[in-house]
Amino acid sequence: MPFKVHDELARIIGTPIESSRIHSLLWFALAQSDKQFIDIHSISTFNRDELASFIKNIGTLSGGCQWAPVKLVPDTHLSWIEDSQRQSHWLIYQLVLHISAFKEKAAQAGMHHQPLTNPFPPRHLTGRNLSIAYLDYFSAHYFSTIDEKINFIESLQLIWQNHTKTDRYFSWLNRNDASSRIEFFWEWLTKKNPEITQNRPFFKTYEGVLEFFDNPAFTESAKELFNKKANNMWAQKQRRENSKNKRQCNFVLAEKTVSKLEKLAAKHHLTRTEIIELIINAEAEKETYIRERLSRRQLLLGSPEPTE
């Protein structure tokens, strides 16, 4: 939880508030001004005094921008940011696109000063911390008011929500035996569309699949088609495997018996075939109901049924 600290670092950055979010932004900014800060894998050994010293020694941010009071968008506008490598990669890609667009506009307007190049984040920042630091740093360079920053972040949120709507096509991969489904999907893609998987690393997780298809080259219709075909092939494969050592039997049952069978299947969430197999296997082991039926028949007839 953020709290206030009145020290040299607070004076430099213009706010007494101390939080991991502010520290992440400062480390991110330092990495753009001095590449030695990119390779810092952990900040556990650094304190605020050392951070203030680093900032004073550098003096300015990357691109010649002076340190300014830290004005962050309220956390409530960042609730959609997840601790996800996939979302982080997607977000960085979007921000790089915006940086390129801003550069192009600046060049067309004859502006030679371009305050931000594609950032290189410090290695200790990952997942949600990286995404938010990237957003805060980008917003600090291109927007002067909090409202502008909020509008930009909300526009990104809407793009993300629309983008992830296509995740529903991949839901069949995130069910029972997900690892086998995902491996099958990769093999199917490699066989049917080798140009898609060529020189691409094998996705091993469900999130890895989604990130693989985050590539803008994949349209929504392509995602739907790939998954529909692969899912059908998976279902056929499962049916073939489940049919091994099985033989179809055709027999007629009374309507009342069929009705009872369907009620049992619905009640216990089993198929009718499973119900029949359970009953037959139980009778083959103990013959409880068969013995009872034969006993009643013997009493009625006075002698056992002839056997062949």
Q: What is the mean pLDDT of the chain?
A: 83
Joined tokens for residue 62: 């990357």
Please say if the pLDDT value at position 307 is more than 90. Answer: no
Closest to 132 (Cα-Cα) out of 87, 162, 96, 102: 87
Residue 26 pLDDT class (50, 70, 90 cuts): confident
Joined tokens for residue 106: 């600046």
Position 306 scores a pLDDT of 53
* pTM, 2 dp: 0.69
Helices (H), the chain: 8-13, 20-33, 48-58, 85-108, 127-142, 146-163, 178-192, 194-197, 206-212, 220-242, 255-268, 272-286, 288-301
Segment 35-40 shows an average pLDDT of: 78
Joined tokens for residue 132: 């938010």
Q: How far is CA 308 from the centre of its chain?
A: 65
Q: How far is CA 263 from the centre of its chain?
A: 39
Position 81 scores a pLDDT of 96
Rounded distance between C-alpha atoms, residue 133 and residue 26, angstroms: 8
94 phi and psi angles, rounded to 5 deg: -65, -40
Residue 179 pLDDT class (50, 70, 90 cuts): very high
Position 103 scores a pLDDT of 72
18 phi and psi angles, rounded to 5 deg: -115, 130
Buried b (16+ CB within 10 A) or exposed e, 106-128: eeeeeeeeeebeebebbebbeeb
CA count, 13 A, side-chain hemisphere, 281: 6
Position 114 scores a pLDDT of 52
Please say if the pLDDT value at position 178 is more than 80. Answer: yes
Q: How far is CA 246 from the centre of its chain?
A: 39
Residue 243: C-alpha distances to residues 119, 229, 234, 252 (Å): 56, 21, 14, 22
pLDDT tens digits, 63-105: 444 455 568 899 999 999 999 999 999 999 999 888 888 777 7
pLDDT tens digits, 109-143: 665 545 556 678 888 888 999 999 999 988 888 88
Residue 302 pLDDT class (50, 70, 90 cuts): low
Please say if the pLDDT value at position 15 is more than 90. Answer: no
117 against 15, higher pLDDT: 15
Please say if the pLDDT value at position 5 is more than 90. Answer: no
The neighbour count for residue 50, using CB atoms within 10 Å, is 12
65 against 10, higher pLDDT: 10
Tell how strand 3-4 and strand 17-18 pair up. antiparallel
Rounded distance between C-alpha atoms, residue 304 and residue 287, angstroms: 17
Segment 184-199 shows an average pLDDT of: 92
Q: Indicate the burial class of 249 (C-beta count within 10 angstroms; 0-12, 13-18, 19 or more).
A: exposed
Single-letter residue type at 44: S
Rounded distance between C-alpha atoms, residue 128 and residue 172, angstroms: 27
Helix 288-301 vs helix 272-286: crossing angle, to nearest 10: 70
Least confident of 192-196, 198-202, 228-232, 240-244: 240-244
